[in-house]
Structure 1
Amino acid sequence: MTYKITRTNRKTIAIYVRKDGAVEVRAPLRVSDKKIQEFVREKQDWITKTQNKIKEKVQNKQILSIEEKNKLIEKANEYIPNRVIALSKQLNFPVSKIKITSAKSYWGCCNIKNEVSFSWRLMLATAETIDYVIIHELVHTKHHNHSSKFWKEVEKIMPEYKACKEELKQIETMYEC
């Protein structure tokens, strides 16, 4: 079995199976290669099971065609910036810049300059869930973290936000894009 070893300032050995099935072993700086090999051997069944689960998830996902992706990107560029501007004004959260990206690792993002970015993949969600992601990022212009104050503010604006988070999880399991 092939795996990548990353040595860090940690106390325990951990194994991570990435979405592409690749295996990474994170180990303390002073742990020997032999000890790492033993650990990987002990965890072989778990690694194989996890890789198979990932493979199964990928096989069950719906793959979007290039035409479908392009339509969603076009819709995202039209819809999301207008919706961000409307909600920003309505809720009084300042935004300095709005971008649509091809990000796969996040739905939305806000930086310290109050620039917000949204993945075009958000267009796979309902309008309510798109609003949730926009609101989530707008609240980050006030709270640049996920503290209890942040979540209280999100809930005050959108009490049903947890259902929207669930929808996003479902979309992640349904589509490969």
Structure 2
Amino acid sequence: MAAESSFDVVSEVNWQEVTNAIDQVQREIGTRFDFKGTKVAITLENKELTLIADDEGKLKQLKDVLDSKLIKRGIALKSVDYQKLESAFGGTVRQKAKFINGIAQEHAKKINQLIRDSKLKVRSQVIDEKVRVTAKSKDDLQDVMKLLNAADLPIPLQYNNYR
């Protein structure tokens, strides 16, 4: 009768919410006074953002607007990986941003190590780009969730398939 419970630790991005946030940013760019008459744009192609602005100051303002819209839409800022700033055509600056989707091997190893070091009676294993945690007690699984939430990991974590 000792049925086991489990859940998956994942790092996923809700692409519909990202699209909605970018649409909101584009609308705000069109209405904000400080962006009038400037070359400010944001595009999403192949799950990669491209931010273009006249100068670094305007680009920083654009990133602030984007960050606020992503937060309102429930997307963690840890999931956005901004690349280096580069010069673009016409005296503008451009910055690309990628979204972290899935848990990389080094992060999965770190999560497994944290779970093992906690001495909780659970098992964890890496499956593709997620970590499955299994235990006999649901309380132990909840303790693992608390442990991972308290850990300062460079990626956002979600928990799904809780059974």
Q: TM-score, with normalisation over the residues of structure 2? A: 0.25
Q: If each structure's helix is expressed as a fraction of its own residues, which one has the higher value?
A: 1
Q: If each structure's strand is expressed as a fraction of its own residues, which one has the higher value?
A: 2
Q: TM-score, with normalisation over the residues of structure 1? A: 0.24
